Amino acid sequence: MHVNPYYEKLPGNYLFAEIARRVKAYSAAHPDADIIKLGIGDVTRPLAPAVVNAMKKAADEMLAPATFHGYGPDYGYEFLIDAIREKDYAPRGVALAADEVFISDGAKTDTSAIQELFAPDARIAVTDPVYPVYVDSNAMAGRLGDFTDGRWNRLTYLPCNAENGFVPEPPKEPVDVIYLCYPNNPTGTTLTAAQLTPFVEYARKYGALIVYDAAYKAFITSQVPHSIYEVPGAREVAIECCSFSKTAGFTGVRCAYSVIPHEVTGIGGNGQRVELNALWKRRMGSKFNGVSYPVQRAAEAVFSPEGQAQCAEAVRYYRENAALIRRELQTAGYEVFGGVDAPYVWMKTPTDSWAFFDRLLDQAHVVGTPGAGFGPSGEGYFRLTAFNTREKTAQALERIRRL
């Protein structure tokens, strides 16, 4: 059997695997170094008690035949879908039908699987720097051509940097799909409705699809959209992926949701319009068996009054970490971006980003993520995350200031 030829085109080392390798090597050589990790985007605050109680209650239901739950609906339980519609979307003026919301085990799963609905030769655009999953999933499907000098030759990069205020321009060439993530990973920056509008207009004009990743929307405090559907016309061109991971600390619990409005269509073999909603149902029905019942009950509890209050507290904690990181870096003379509506602070580095990574590790024992790992326009930048404890975060920043 021949294997999928596109896997061979992937660059050798993952970003985070390479980071782990360097940290491990450094630790081995310096066993006494007290290393603080502000690298990966994993949460550290405990789950909301309301969430844990709901999960345990659901687990208990599984003990009796009358309340036992076997296979759930492939697309998610109605109780969770309705909570999302009523508590997450309706308050922002976004009305969704029950069959436009799909529950899954993660936004990574959804944003990497959505490309299965695209034609094999679909042209893809991503903002640069970018969360690697959009790129890798399309590369594995053979859509991106070859990777040379840090770039895929069949991928459209939309640069985001200090010069353009991290506001990307819509593609100059025709593309079929644009991935957008706001609040952004890795830069922590946002787009206003006015700045998102040209993308919706582009998609409507050229028949393109927007895959909008809103995984960090719980961190928004500024006047920017929480959902792409707050932008007029987006319902016809955009899919939106959300997650409980950062909103409610579910990185280890695994639950997410995606919205696919009925109006979003692609072109079929005879030129006819095909609903992506229908294709996704077929995909989910054939390849997925739904999310764990106790996990869906836990996710439902995120929307209860206690759950909302408890989850907001954790988000506030991380937000204060981000503010601390911003403040301390600025005091130390660094130029910083993001970190206001997002758990990520994006800083300019005095040297190239991997050299800065090595220096920070060696001289401050602090681990961050080199911008170059997120794409060509990430070079010269560095990401710090707000997900560690207050104490460790403060300690890390103190060390960076002393550099």
Nearest-5° Cα angle at 259, 269 to 56: 135
Tokens of 42: 């994993």
Q: Is residue 133 involved in binding a copy of itself (CB under 8 A)? A: yes
For the segment 330-389, give every residue that binds a copy of itself (CB under 8 A). Answer: 389
**Residue 65 or 333 with smaller CB distance to a copy of itself:** 65
Site string for a copy of itself, 38-57 (x = CB under 8 A): --x-xxxxxx-x--x--xx-
Residues of this chain, 100-119, that bind a copy of itself according to CB under 8 A: 105-106, 108-109, 112-113, 116-119
In the chain, the N- to C-terminal Cα span, in Å, equals 54
**Span interacting with a copy of itself, options 180-188, 202-210, 225-233, 367-375, rule CB under 8 A:** 202-210
Tokens representing 143 are 């859509």
C-alpha span between 247 and 255 (Å, rounded): 11
Q: Which of residues 217-276 bind a copy of itself (CB under 8 A)?
A: 249, 251-254, 266-269, 274, 276
- 């007290």: which residue's tokens? 34
Give me 356's structure tokens. Answer: 């800065």
> What DSSP element (H or E) covers 242?
strand 238-243
Site size for a copy of itself, by CB under 8 A? 83
Q: Select the residue interacting with a copy of itself from 120, 172, 173, 305 (CB under 8 A).
A: 120
Give the whole-angstrom CA distance, residue 356 versus residue 395: 18
Residue 379 CA to residue 400 CA, distance in Å, equals 20
- The span of 192-200, 284-292, 345-353, 394-402 binding a copy of itself (CB under 8 A) equals 284-292
- Closest separation between CB of residue 158 and a copy of itself, Å? 17
Q: Which of 287, 316, 327, 390 binds a copy of itself (CB under 8 A)?
A: 287
Residue 209 beta carbon to a copy of itself: minimum distance, rounded to whole angstroms = 5
Token readout for 243 is 């997650």
Least Cβ distance, residue 61 to a copy of itself (angstroms)? 9
Residue selected from 294, 307, 373, 375 as contacting a copy of itself according to rule CB under 8 A: 294
Binding residues among 165-194 for a copy of itself as defined by CB under 8 A: 176-177
- Which member of 92, 99, 153, 207 binds a copy of itself (CB under 8 A)? 207
Which residues 6+ apart lie within 8 Å of 239 measured at CB? Answer: 114, 209, 210, 211, 212, 258, 259, 260, 264, 276
Which token pair is 360?
């920070």
**Partner residues linked to 127 by β-bridges:** 158
